[in-house]
Amino acid sequence: MRSQRVTTILIGLAAAAGLVYWLQSVRSGEGGRVPEGVTRGGTLVATFRTEPQSFNRYVSARVADQLFSLLTQATLVRTNRATGVLEPRLAREWSASPDGLTWTILLREDVTFSDGTPFTSADVVFSFQALYDERVKSPIASSIQVGGQPLVLRAHDSHTVEVTFPASYGPGLALLENVPILPAHKLKASLDAGTFRQAWPVTTPPAQLAGLGPFVLREFVPGQRLVYERNPRFWRTDDQGRPLPYLDAIELQIVPEQNAEVLRLETGAVDLITDQVRPEDLAALQALQAQGTVTLNEAGVATNPEMLWLNLDPASVSAQARSWLQRLELRQAISHAVDRRRIVDTVYLGTAEPAYGPMTPGHGDWYLPDLPRTGYDPARAKSLLESIGLVDRTGDGKLDDDRGQTARLTLLTTKGHTIRERTCAIIQEQLAAVGLVLDVVPMETTALIAQLMGGRYEAAFFSIVFDSFDPGGHLDFWMSNGAFHLWHPSQATPATDWEAEIDALMLKQSTSLDSAERRRLFGDVQRLFAAHLPVIYFAAPRVVVATSGRVGGAMPSVLAPTVLWNAEMLWLVPAPAGAAGK
Amino acid sequence: MLAALLFVLLVSSGAFALIRLAPGDATSELFLARGDPAALAEARSRLGLDQPFLMHFGQFLTGLATFDFGQSAVFGRPVGDLVRERAAATARLAALALVLAAALGLPAGVLSASRPGFAALVAPVSLALVACPPIVAVLGLLLVAVQTGWLSTAPGSYAVPTLALALPVAAMLERLQAQATSEALASPDLVAAAARGVPRARLVWVHAARQSLRPVLGVAGAVVGSLFSGSLAVELVTSWPGLGRLLLDAVTGRDLFLVAGCALVGAMLIALGNLAADVVRAVVDPRVRDVP
C-alpha cells in the first residue's frame, strides 16, 4: 500500500515536471508545435547595402539604422504594409476623445525587454521625452509633430498612456509608428546626463542593448555583417498562439555592389536582397523561378516614381534669363511630347505602368484612376510651345525664343543610375522631335543634391522616398512652405493661387478625422496638381521582390524594407543536404 | 624620411581640401531622408561645415598634429579606429596578393625569357590580364567562383579578392621580369659566363634573375600603388571591409575627416611599400648599397 502511494506520487511528480518542461519549451520556442508547412528555425541570409551608423534610431535617420530598429525594437502601432491597416503592437487597444485630440492607449501587459526588464508606460514616456529633447536634436523629431508642435504624453498607470495631439490630425495614431520604444532603464541616465546622442554607438557590445523587437543583435562585424538572433522574450504570437519569430536568426551581409547581390541570390548564397528586382535581372530570375530556386513576388506599383520638375522659383537665375521656363504650357508640352509607353517598354522592359501624377495604384485608396491625363501628342506639344513664343525661326529644326536664342534647358540627374539616365535619354530624344533642346547632365548624387538645395538648376530628374501611403505624412511636399515642395520650396507665402489652394486643401485634409472627407479633399488636390503639373511623371515601376525558394511567409510591400518589415512571420523550408544557407 | 612625411601630409591635406571644396557635403544623406531644414542646419553646424574653409582646415591640421583624426560623419565613429581596422584588412589582402603575384609572376617571367615556347603561351594571358579593368576581372572571378564552387565567396574569405588583386599584378611582374631577364641574359658578363661553361640553369636562375630584379623592384612603388587602386573595385564587389571601400563611402558621403584619414593611411602604406622595396633592392643588388 505504502509503496503504491509512493509510486503514485513519483508518477505525479514526473508528470508535473514533464508538463513544466513542455510549457517552458513552448515559450522558448524549442520543440514547440508549428502548423503544417511552417518550419521553425533556421537562419535567413539577406544582403544590405550599408551598415548602421548608430544603434540609437533617434540620432540617425539612415536606412540601415531604420532596419536595425525594425528588427530589434518595437513601436506602439504599425501600418500593415500589405493591407494598409493600422495594427496594434505594444499598444493593445486605444480610444479617442470626442474631439480626437486625446488618445488613451492601453499597453500590453506581461511584456519584457530582451534583457528581462518589464516594459511599462514609463518606457513610452521616456522615449518621447528623449525624442523631443533639445539636446538630442533628433532628425526624426520634426516628423512626429503636428503643426510644428510635439505630442504630449502622460502615464496614467504602469500600462496606460495618454497621448494629446496639439491639433486635430487626420492620420491619427499612425504618427506613432515611426517611434521605436526604447528602454528607459538602459538610456535614461544618458539622457539626464546630456549624452544621449552618444549612447548606443555601433561599438556597443550587443549584450548591452535591449529591445522589444523580434530579434536581438548577436554580432556586428563592421563592413561585413550583422547577425540577429531570435528574441526569446518577444511578446508577439501568431494568430494561433504560437510564439514568434519563426526564424532562429537573420544574417545581414553588407554587400554594397548590386550585381554581386544578384549573383549571390541566383546561386543560393543568400535568401533575400535589399531592393526590388531590376528590370534587367528579371529574365534570369524568372528562369530560376521556373526551377523553384527563386520566388518572385509582385508587391504592387511603386509609390515613389521618378520625377521631372522645373525650377519654378521666380527669383532663380534661370527664371530671370528665360521666363518661358516658368510657363505651364512648357510643362504641358513636355508631358505631351514624351511617349510614356516607350519608357515603360524600353527602360523598364515592360515592368512598369505609365504614370501621370505622384500617386500611383501602390497608394491604395488615395490613388485616383480617373484623373485627367496628358497623352502622347507631339502635335499638341508643338502647338503649346508655339503659344509661348517658341517657334523655329531659323529653319534648323530647333525652336527659338522671341530673342532668337535656341530654346534649350539643362536637366540634372544622377550619374550611374541606369533608369534615370535611360529615361532622360528618351525624354531628350522626344523633346528634340518637337524642337526643344534638352541638355542632360548626369552628376554624382551628392553634387546634384547640393545644386537642388541651392536652387541652382533649371530642371531635375530625381526621386524622393515617401515612407507612408497617407499624404498627411508628406506635407513637406504638398505645402508651399515645405522643404520638399521641390519646384519652389520653403515659400514664405504661396507664390501662386493654385499653390495657395492646395495649401488650404491639404491643411483641411490633414486635420479632418473623417477618412471619406480626407479622400475627397485630397482628390481635389490631385486634380489641381494635374492641372498645373509642377512635377511631371512618366512611369511607375511594378515592385518585384525576389527571395530564395526556401523563404516562406513573405508579405512583400512596395515600401522598403520590402520583406523584412515583417521579419517575425518569415520562415524557412529546411534546405536539402549540401545546399547553401543555414 | 622627411620627404615621405611631407608626401603623406600633402596627400592628406589635399584630400581634405578637395572634398571640402567639392559640391555637396555630409548632410546630403539627411536631405535624402527628408530631414527638415533645422535638422540639416544642426548637422552642418555639428560637423563644422558652416565654418569658413581656412578655419576648418586649420582645425584639421591641429588635429593631425595631435593625432586626433576627428569623427566620421558617415559612420559616427572616430576616424582613427575606422581607418585602423580597414587599413589592416587592406594591408593583409594586399600583402597576400603581393606574395602570390610575386610567386606567380617572377618565376613565370624568368621562364618566359629563357623558353620561347613558354612565352608564347603566357604572354597573351599576361597582356589580357594587364589590360583587363579590375572590376571586370573581379566580377568574372566571382561569377566563376559561384558557378563552380571552386572558390569560397563567404564574407571574409580571402580566395576571390586575393586572386582578383594578384593576377593582374602577377601579369605585370611577368612582363617586366621577362623583359629584364632577356636583357640580363644578353649582357656581356653573362654571355662570357656562358662561354666559360656555366650551366644554363644557373645562368638563368641565379645570375640573370638576380640581375633583372633591380629594374623590376624599381617599379615596386607602382605595383604597391596598383594594389591599392585596384583594391577599391575588388573590395566593393567582394564586400571586403578594406580601405578602398571605406574611402569610396567617405568620398560619396563627403566625410571630410574620413577622406583625409584614408588618404593619409593610404599614402603611408604606399610610402612604406616603397621603403620595403628599396630595402629588398639593396639586399638583392650590392651595387645599390655601395652608392654614396
User: What DSSP assignment string belongs to A277-341?
Assistant: PPHHHHHHHHHHHHHTSEEEEEEEE-SS--EEEE---TTSHHHHH-GGGG-HHHHHHHHHHS-HH
Mark yes or no for CB contact B252/A445 under 8 Å: yes
Which residue, among A541, A539, A537, has the nearest Cα to A335 in the 3D structure? A537
- In angstroms, the CA B237 to CA B248 distance is 13
**Per-residue pLDDT tens for B134-158?**
788 888 888 888 778 888 877 778 9
Task: Name A46's bridge partners.
Answer: A252, A272
Sheet holding A535-537, edge to edge: A437-443, A408-414, A459-462, A307-310, A535-537
Chain B residues touching residue A560 (CB < 8 angstroms): none
Chain A residues touching residue B81 (CB < 8 angstroms): 203
pLDDT of residue A223 exceeding 70, the answer is yes
- What lies within 8 Å, CB to CB, of B139 at 6+ separation is A259, A260, B237
Min Cα–Cα distance to chain B from A212, Å: 24
**Per-residue pLDDT tens for A177-212?**
999 999 999 999 999 999 999 999 999 999 999 999
Average pLDDT over residues A473-492: 92
- For A260, nearest residue in chain B (alpha carbons): B237
Confidence class of residue A331 from pLDDT cuts 50, 70 and 90? very high
pLDDT of residue A252 exceeding 60, the answer is yes
Burial class for A437, CB neighbours closer than 10 Å (0-12, 13-18, 19+): middle
Mean pLDDT of chain B: 84
- Look at residue A135 in the predicted model and tell me its pLDDT: 92
- In angstroms, the CA B242 to CA B230 distance is 12
The one-character DSSP state at A458 is S
Chain B residues touching residue A53 (CB < 8 angstroms): 74-76
Cβ atoms of A244 and A236 within 8 Å: the answer is yes
Which residue, among A208, A172, A183, has the nearest Cα to A511 in the 3D structure? A172
For β-strands A91-96 and A160-164, DSSP reports them as unpaired
- In angstroms, the CA A479 to CA A170 distance is 16
| Domain regions of chain B by residue span | 2-65, 80-289
Mark yes or no for CB contact B34/A255 under 8 Å: no
Mark yes or no for CB contact A483/B146 under 8 Å: no
Q: Which residue has the cell 528602454?
A: A183
- ipTM, 2 decimals? 0.80
Confidence class of residue B292 from pLDDT cuts 50, 70 and 90? low
Q: Which residue has the cell 526551377?
A: A291
- Look at residue B7 in the predicted model and tell me its pLDDT: 83
Mark yes or no for CB contact B24/A203 under 8 Å: no
Confidence class of residue A19 from pLDDT cuts 50, 70 and 90? very low
Higher pLDDT, A38 or A35: A38
The one-character DSSP state at A62 is -
Alpha helices in A434-566 (DSSP H): 445-453, 475-478, 497-511, 515-532
- In angstroms, the CA A174 to CA A211 distance is 21
CB-side neighbour CA atoms (13 Å) of A534:
24
Chain A residues touching residue B253 (CB < 8 angstroms): 446
pLDDT of residue A1 exceeding 80, the answer is no
Predicted model pTM:
0.85
b vs e for B31-40, b when ≥16 Cβ sit within 10 Å of the residue's Cβ? bbbbbbeebb
Mark yes or no for CB contact B142/A221 under 8 Å: no
Mark yes or no for CB contact B33/A63 under 8 Å: yes
Confidence class of residue A442 from pLDDT cuts 50, 70 and 90? very high
Q: Which residue has the cell 558557378?
A: B147
Mean pLDDT of chain A: 90
Does domain A307-541 sit in CATH 3.10.105.10?
A: yes
pLDDT of residue A241 exceeding 60, the answer is yes
pLDDT of residue A167 exceeding 50, the answer is yes
- Look at residue A565 in the predicted model and tell me its pLDDT: 95
Higher pLDDT, A405 or A82: A405
Mark yes or no for CB contact A257/B236 under 8 Å: yes
Name the CATH superfamily for A216-296+543-572. Periplasmic binding protein-like II (3.40.190.10)
Which residue, among A312, A72, A55, A486, has the nearest Cα to B32 in the 3D structure? A486
Chain B residues touching residue A483 (CB < 8 angstroms): 34, 36-37
Q: Which residue has the cell 541606369?
A: A418
Q: Three-state secondary structure along chain B? A: CHHHHHHHHHHHHHHHHHHHHCCCCCCHHHHHCCCCHHHHHHHHHHCCCCCCHHHHHHHHHHHHHCCCCCECCCCCCEHHHHHHHHHHHHHHHHHHHHHHHHHHHHHHHHHHHHCHHHHHHHHHHHHHHHHCCHHHHHHHHHHHHHHHCCCCCCCCCCHHHHHHHHHHHHHHHHHHHHHHHHHHHCCHHHHHHHHCCCCHHHHHHHHHHHHHHHHHHHCHHHHHHHHHHHHHHHHHHHCCCCHHHHHHHHHHCCCHHHHHHHHHHHHHHHHHHHHHHHHHHHHHCHHHHHCC
**Per-residue pLDDT tens for B213-237?**
777 777 777 777 777 776 888 888 8
Least confident span in A25-39, A554-568, B256-270: A25-39
- For A60, nearest residue in chain B (alpha carbons): B30
- Give the containing element (helix H, strand E) for A226: strand A225-230
Mark yes or no for CB contact B239/A223 under 8 Å: yes
pLDDT of residue A29 exceeding 70, the answer is no
- Look at residue A529 in the predicted model and tell me its pLDDT: 97
Average pLDDT over residues A383-389: 96
What DSSP line would sit under A73-121, residue for residue? ---SEEE-TTT--EEESSEEEEEE-TTSSEEEEEEPSS-B-TTSPBP-H
pLDDT of residue A412 exceeding 70, the answer is yes
Q: Would you report the helix, strand and coil content of chain A in percent, each value rounded to 5?
A: 35, 20, 45
Quote the percentage of chain A above a pLDDT of 70: 92
Q: What are phi and psi of A92, to 5 degrees?
A: -85, -45
CB-side neighbour CA atoms (13 Å) of B202:
6
| Domain regions of chain A by residue span | 5-30+51-198, 216-296+543-572, 307-541
Name the CATH superfamily for B80-289. MetI-like (1.10.3720.10)
- Look at residue B34 in the predicted model and tell me its pLDDT: 76
Min Cα–Cα distance to chain A from B97, Å: 20
Name the CATH superfamily for A5-30+51-198. Dipeptide-binding Protein; Domain 1 (3.90.76.10)
- Look at residue A31 in the predicted model and tell me its pLDDT: 35
- In angstroms, the CA A56 to CA B49 distance is 23
- In angstroms, the CA A76 to CA A191 distance is 21
**Per-residue pLDDT tens for A543-563?**
999 999 999 999 999 998 999
The one-character DSSP state at A1 is -
- Look at residue B154 in the predicted model and tell me its pLDDT: 74
- Look at residue A378 in the predicted model and tell me its pLDDT: 97
pLDDT of residue A569 exceeding 60, the answer is yes
Cβ atoms of B247 and B266 within 8 Å: the answer is yes
Most confident of A169-178, A258-267, A380-389: A380-389
pLDDT of residue B287 exceeding 70, the answer is no
A window 146-205, beta carbon within 8 A of B: 201-203
- In angstroms, the CA B176 to CA B219 distance is 9
pLDDT of residue A2 exceeding 60, the answer is no
A window 203-242, beta carbon within 8 A of B: 203, 221-225
Cell numbers that stand for B197 in this block:
661553361
Chain A residues touching residue B41 (CB < 8 angstroms): none
What does each C-alpha distance from A20 to A17, A23, A26, A571, B250 come to in angstroms? 5, 5, 10, 27, 55
**Per-residue pLDDT tens for B21-67?**
888 888 887 787 777 788 888 888 888 888 888 888 888 888 888 88
Quote the percentage of chain A above a pLDDT of 90: 77
**Per-residue pLDDT tens for B179-206?**
888 888 888 888 888 888 888 888 888 8
pLDDT of residue B275 exceeding 90, the answer is no
Cβ atoms of A183 and A123 within 8 Å: the answer is yes
- Look at residue A479 in the predicted model and tell me its pLDDT: 94
Most confident of A109-123, B226-240, B272-286: A109-123
Cell numbers that stand for A325 in this block:
521656363
Average pLDDT over residues A439-443: 96
Confidence class of residue A575 from pLDDT cuts 50, 70 and 90? low
Min Cα–Cα distance to chain A from B136, Å: 12
- In angstroms, the CA B109 to CA B205 distance is 11
- Look at residue A23 in the predicted model and tell me its pLDDT: 38
